[in-house]
């Protein structure tokens, strides 16, 4: 049952998350994404596992998702301890017509990409506002703080029009689970997401970036504020 007092956007996330439960099977090893939409899915997943009496193993893409999943009674294993991941379910910050993605506003693009690129299937859940004809705007780039100047120069050469270091309280840089920093690099409309994904990762000091073009999503479920969903 949908909780009361959800925002229209969260109602869309809730609807998409609820539809994703149909893909969860007994005995599955499931990747869990990170972010506000993933949080909703993890909550729904815990209830689904309990009500259906099924057994699954989860691999989380962040400390945040690990803690939430464990607090709800889900079985969470380390990525290194599983042989394969059958399905990964995650949100996205933008989805284009070819199911390529911008992800990582939740600060976990590196672990998300490792888990999702190695999964048998990638299922993306999102509210309607995340749909776009082409990818554009800010791309999260996780980088070694030591290499900040080199990374900034490299991103500008690739066409970044604006860069903003992600910060927390008092303007201090936000640190990822990997001990790195993140800069949001705005490239405007991205003509070739795959080429840009590869080029960003070739900059010395970059760990990973939030363009998911080499492995687009297999399934995308968009949820709307009226509770309806559309699958691609």
This prediction's pTM: 0.96
Q: Does 183 lie in the same domain as 154?
A: yes
Under 8 Å between Cβ of 135 and 190: yes
2 is a domain residue:
no
Q: Which domain holds residue 69?
A: 8-132+215-231
pLDDT at 35: 96
Q: What is the pLDDT of residues 102-147, one digit of tens each?
A: 999 999 999 999 999 999 999 999 999 999 999 999 999 999 999 9
Q: Does 57 lie in the same domain as 115?
A: yes
Which of 102, 88, 69, 113 is closest to 193 using CA atoms? 102
Mean pLDDT for the stretch of residues 167-180: 94
45 is a domain residue:
yes
Catalytic residue among 2, 52, 83, 112: 112
DSSP-derived pairing of the beta strands 29-32 and 57-60:
parallel
Active site residue 112: yes
Q: Does 163 lie in the same domain as 53?
A: no
Q: What is the pLDDT of residues 59-105, one digit of tens each?
A: 999 999 999 999 999 999 999 999 999 999 999 999 999 999 999 99
**Taking every pair of C-alpha atoms in the chain, what is the biggest distance, in angstroms?**
53
Whether 202 has a pLDDT exceeding 60, the answer reads yes
Which of 185, 179, 161, 181 is closest to 171 using CA atoms? 181
Q: Does 223 lie in the same domain as 124?
A: yes
Number of domains the chain is built from: 2
pLDDT at 131: 97
Q: Does 128 lie in the same domain as 140?
A: no
Which residue bears the tokens 């969860």?
Answer: 24
Name 47's Cβ contacts closer than 8 Å, sequence gap at least 6: none
pLDDT at 8: 86
Mean pLDDT for the stretch of residues 184-195: 98
Mean pLDDT of the chain: 96
Q: Does 71 lie in the same domain as 13?
A: yes
Q: How far, in Å, are 54, 117, 166, 214 from residue 100 at the CA level?
A: 32, 12, 23, 8
Provide the CATH number for the domain around residue 64.
Answer: 3.40.50.1360
């Amino acid at each position: 049952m949908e909780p009361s007092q959800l925002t229209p956007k969260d109602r869309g996330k809730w609807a998409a998350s609820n539809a994703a439960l149909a893909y969860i099977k007994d005995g599955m090893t499931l990747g869990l994404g990170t972010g506000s939409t993933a949080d909703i899915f993890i909550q729904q997943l815990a209830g689904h596992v309990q009500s259906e009496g099924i057994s699954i193993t989860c691999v989380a893409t962040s400390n945040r998702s690990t803690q939430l999943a464990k607090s709800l009674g889900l079985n969470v294993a380390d990525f290194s301890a599983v042989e394969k991941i059958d399905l990964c379910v995650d949100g996205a910050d933008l989805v284009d017509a070819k199911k390529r993605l911008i992800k990582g506003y939740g600060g976990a693009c590196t672990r998300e990409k490792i888990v999702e690129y190695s999964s048998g299937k990638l299922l993306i859940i999102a509210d309607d506002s995340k749909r776009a004809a082409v990818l554009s705007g800010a791309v999260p780039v996780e980088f070694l703080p030591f290499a900040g100047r080199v990374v900034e120069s490299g991103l500008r050469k690739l066409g970044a029009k604006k860069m903003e270091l992600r910060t927390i309280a008092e303007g201090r840089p936000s640190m990822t689970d990997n001990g790195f920093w993140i800069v949001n690099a705005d490239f405007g409309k991205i003509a070739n997401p795959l080429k840009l994904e590869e080029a960003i990762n070739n900059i010395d000091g970059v760990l990973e970036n939030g363009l998911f073009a080499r492995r687009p999503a297999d399934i995308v479920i968009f949820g709307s504020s009226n509770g309806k969903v559309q699958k691609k």
